[in-house]
């Protein structure tokens, strides 16, 4: 296996954050300069951000030489797969970085997510290796040589062995500059989480640039604000949801200087969805141990089915009785539930107390146990199934 959901990479790949080992015979990958790697016609420009290239998934039979070099270095074979999930955009927190500095990149994924979908970043390194990081966010360390470097975000699925299905991918070109010739800006947009979905944002390092007229904020969730000061608190609306995949927001601020200049900053925050409230159990079941019927033969037990407060009312339909032999062979019969059970008391919302009888012709020596499966539907039409053992005997 080469991929594992949840961001664990196994097999021929190193763990997240480490470089993948270079495979035998693989040519070293080099830095990407402005005139190399990504054809200009495949790049999409964005204001204040590096150029983006929307690339087709790498094929086992087809694709560019760089696709093959990167897949080979990872020890993988990439195959395209159809998916309802797609990559909306890639955001960076700065337009360029100093050599040896860092750039934060976040991917925004749309559409319906398959349960086995894996998000990851892959990129060639100047040493001829391949960087690998699972997840939608990446803190990319810039190499020491100036240039433009491709970093690729993929939506993947493990197909077994070396095969990796690529559902979607997109590449961002990250620019690295020589900071001896041009110093990196000390400006940054800091963030502090003050609650499950509350953050405080602060523009830092702007003091020496002169007075600021106003700050224009875009909080990434459709909220925009204008402030006189460099600090803003914001609470994101979160809804209960299954799973723990955080919602990521790109926060941008434009500082409008008194001089007429504009300084723009970006940061990213993630908010985990609220846990869904635990639903009450749909059915509570109690079964007594079977007792022998001395006069008629067979066995008798009592079953209580309770529908808790807050649960949907249930209408019962039938009981499936399964006779399980010592050889694991099974015989099943079905009958209306009120014929299969002797109801002694009717309870609220479809609950009941009833007697269950297993006849002597059913509890024969070749039968290991008798299972009863009660079938019904709740008020919303959902299937409700309850099962229990009405008889079981020890091994002869």
Q: Residues 166, 206: one domain? A: no
pLDDT of residue 240: 64
In a domain, 87, yes or no: yes
Q: Are residues 155 and 166 in contact, defined by beta-carbon separation less than 8 angstroms?
A: yes
pTM of the model: 0.48
pLDDT of residue 181: 53
pLDDT of residue 226: 94
Check whether 38 has a pLDDT greater than 70.
no
The Cα–Cα gap between 162 and 77 comes to 6
Q: Which of 225, 262, 70 is nearest to 150 (CA)?
A: 70
The Cα–Cα gap between 27 and 369 comes to 65
Measured in whole angstroms, the distance separating CA 138 from the mean position of its chain's CA atoms is 16
Mark which of 177, 210, 234 sits at the end of a domain.
177
Mean pLDDT is highest, among 15-24, 89-98, 195-204, 250-259, for: 250-259
User: What proportion of the chain, given as a percentage, has pLDDT over 90?
Assistant: 31
The Cα–Cα gap between 48 and 94 comes to 8
Q: What is the mean pLDDT of residues 122-145?
A: 88
The Cα–Cα gap between 123 and 35 comes to 18
The 10 Å Cβ neighbour count of residue 247 is 18
In a domain, 199, yes or no: yes
Least confident span in 182-196, 230-244, 289-303: 182-196
Q: What is the mean pLDDT of residues 89-111?
A: 86
Least confident span in 42-51, 241-250, 263-272, 282-291: 42-51
pLDDT of residue 277: 61
In a domain, 80, yes or no: yes
CATH code of the domain in which 88 resides: 2.60.40.10
CATH code of the domain in which 298 resides: 2.60.40
Q: For residue range 336-353, what is the model confidence (pLDDT) as tens digits?
A: 998 889 999 999 999 999
Check whether 165 has a pLDDT greater than 70.
yes
Strand partners, 87: 109
In a domain, 11, yes or no: no
Q: Which two tokens stand for residue 171?
A: 């590449």
Q: Residues 195, 318: one domain? A: no
Q: For residue range 152-164, what is the model confidence (pLDDT) as tens digits?
A: 999 999 888 889 9
DSSP 2: -
DSSP 60-92: TT---HHHHHHHHHHT-EEEE---S-EEEEEEE
Least confident span in 18-22, 70-74, 169-173, 205-209: 18-22
Q: What is the mean pLDDT of residues 354-371?
A: 92
Q: How far apart, in Å, are the Cα atoms of 67 and each of 10, 37, 38, 112, 142?
A: 21, 10, 11, 26, 21
Kindly tell me the burial class for residue 226, based on how many C-beta atoms sit within 10 Å of its own C-beta (0-12, 13-18, 19 or more): exposed
Check whether 92 has a pLDDT greater than 90.
no
Q: Residues 35, 169: one domain? A: yes
pLDDT of residue 33: 36
Q: Are residues 315 and 304 in contact, defined by beta-carbon separation less than 8 angstroms?
A: no
Extended strands (E) in 145-220:
147-158, 163-177, 188-193, 198-204, 212-218
The Cα–Cα gap between 18 and 240 comes to 34
Q: Which two tokens stand for residue 203?
A: 């523009």
Q: Residues 109, 233: one domain? A: no
Check whether 278 has a pLDDT greater than 70.
no
Q: Residues 26, 172: one domain? A: yes
Q: Which two tokens stand for residue 299?
A: 């066995």
In a domain, 133, yes or no: yes
Q: What is the mean pLDDT of residues 200-223?
A: 88
Least confident span in 46-50, 179-183, 327-331: 46-50
What are the φ/ψ torsions at residue 349 (nearest 5 degrees)? Answer: 60, 25
Residue 37 belongs to what domain range?
19-177
Q: What is the mean pLDDT of residues 230-256?
A: 81
Q: Residues 155, 266: one domain? A: no
pLDDT of residue 121: 93
Q: For residue range 293-337, what is the model confidence (pLDDT) as tens digits?
A: 988 889 999 999 999 888 889 999 999 999 998 887 888 899 999
The Cα–Cα gap between 251 and 44 comes to 21
Q: Residues 138, 225: one domain? A: no
Q: Sheet holding 86-92: strands in order across? A: 86-92, 102-110, 137-141
In a domain, 211, yes or no: yes
In a domain, 10, yes or no: no
Residue 98, CB half-sphere, CA atoms under 13 Å: how many? 10
Q: Residues 100, 80: one domain? A: yes
Q: Are residues 287 and 306 in contact, defined by beta-carbon separation less than 8 angstroms?
A: no
Q: Residues 55, 154: one domain? A: yes
Q: Are residues 337 and 374 in contact, defined by beta-carbon separation less than 8 angstroms?
A: yes
The 10 Å Cβ neighbour count of residue 101 is 15
Q: Residues 271, 292: one domain? A: no
Q: Residues 92, 239: one domain? A: no
Check whether 12 has a pLDDT greater than 60.
no
The Cα–Cα gap between 225 and 303 comes to 62
Kind and range of the H or E run holding 266: strand 262-271
What are the φ/ψ torsions at residue 71 (nearest 5 degrees)? Answer: -65, -40
Mark which of 151, 177, 203 sits at the end of a domain.
177
Q: Whole-number mean pLDDT of the chain?
A: 78
Q: Residues 103, 45: one domain? A: yes
Check whether 40 has a pLDDT greater than 60.
no
Q: Which residue has the higher pLDDT, 26 or 125?
A: 125
Q: CB neighbours of 338 closer than 8 A, spacing ≥ 6?
A: none
Q: Which residue has the higher pLDDT, 300 or 240?
A: 300
- What domain count does the chain have? 3
Residue 148, CB half-sphere, CA atoms under 13 Å: how many? 17
Query: β-strands 163-177, 77-80: how paired?
Result: parallel
Mark which of 242, 275, 308 sits at the end of a domain.
275
Q: Which residue has the higher pLDDT, 30 or 235?
A: 235
Q: How far apart, in Å, are the Cα atoms of 2 and each of 10, 143, 153, 360?
A: 5, 26, 16, 56
The Cα–Cα gap between 166 and 49 comes to 25
Q: How confident is the model at residue 41 (pLDDT cuts 50, 70, 90)?
A: very low
Q: What is the mean pLDDT of residues 287-295?
A: 90
Distance between terminal CA atoms of the chain?
A: 45
In a domain, 9, yes or no: no
Check whether 274 has a pLDDT greater than 70.
no
pLDDT of residue 321: 93
């Amino acid at each position: 296996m080469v991929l594992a959901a949840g961001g664990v990479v196994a097999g021929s790949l190193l763990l997240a954050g480490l470089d993948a080992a270079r495979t035998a015979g693989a040519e070293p990958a080099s830095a990407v300069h402005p005139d190399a790697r990504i054809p200009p016609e495949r790049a999409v420009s964005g204001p204040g951000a590096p150029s983006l290239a929307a690339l087709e998934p790498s094929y086992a039979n087809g694709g560019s030489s760089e696709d093959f070099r990167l897949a080979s270095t990872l020890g993988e074979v990439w195959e395209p797969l159809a998916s309802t999930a797609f990559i909306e955009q890639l955001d960076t927190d700065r337009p360029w970085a100093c050599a040896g500095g860092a750039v934060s990149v976040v991917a925004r994924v749309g559409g319906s997510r398959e349960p086995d979908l894996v998000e990851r970043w892959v990129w060639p390194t100047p040493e001829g290796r391949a960087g690998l990081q699972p997840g939608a966010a990446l803190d990319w360390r810039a190499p020491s040589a100036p240039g433009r470097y491709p970093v690729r975000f993929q939506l993947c699925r493990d197909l077994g062995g070396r095969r990796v299905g690529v559902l979607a991918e997109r590449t961002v070109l990250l620019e690295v500059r020589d900071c001896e010739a041009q110093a990196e800006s000390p400006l940054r947009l800091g963030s502090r989480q003050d609650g499950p979905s509350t953050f405080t944002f602060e523009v830092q390092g702007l003091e020496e640039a002169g007075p600021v007229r106003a700050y224009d904020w875009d909080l990434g969730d459709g909220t925009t604000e204008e402030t006189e000061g460099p600090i803003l608190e914001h609470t994101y609306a979160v809804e209960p949801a299954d799973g723990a995949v955080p919602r990521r927001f790109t926060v941008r601020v434009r500082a409008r200087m008194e001089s007429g200049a504009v300084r723009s900053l970006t940061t990213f925050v993630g908010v985990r969805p609220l846990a869904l409230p635990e639903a009450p159990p749909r059915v509570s079941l109690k079964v007594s141990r079977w007792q022998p019927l001395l006069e008629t033969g067979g066995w008798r037990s009592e079953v209580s089915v309770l529908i808790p407060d807050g649960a949907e009312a249930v209408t019962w339909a039938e009981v499936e009785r399964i006779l399980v032999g010592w050889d694991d062979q099974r015989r099943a019969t079905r009958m209306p539930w009120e014929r299969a059970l002797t109801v002694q008391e009717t309870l609220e919302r479809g609950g009941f107390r009833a007697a269950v009888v297993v006849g002597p012709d059913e509890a024969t020596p070749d039968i290991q146990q008798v299972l009863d499966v009660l079938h019904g539907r709740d008020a919303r039409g959902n299937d409700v199934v309850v099962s229990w053992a009405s008889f079981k005997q020890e091994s002869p």
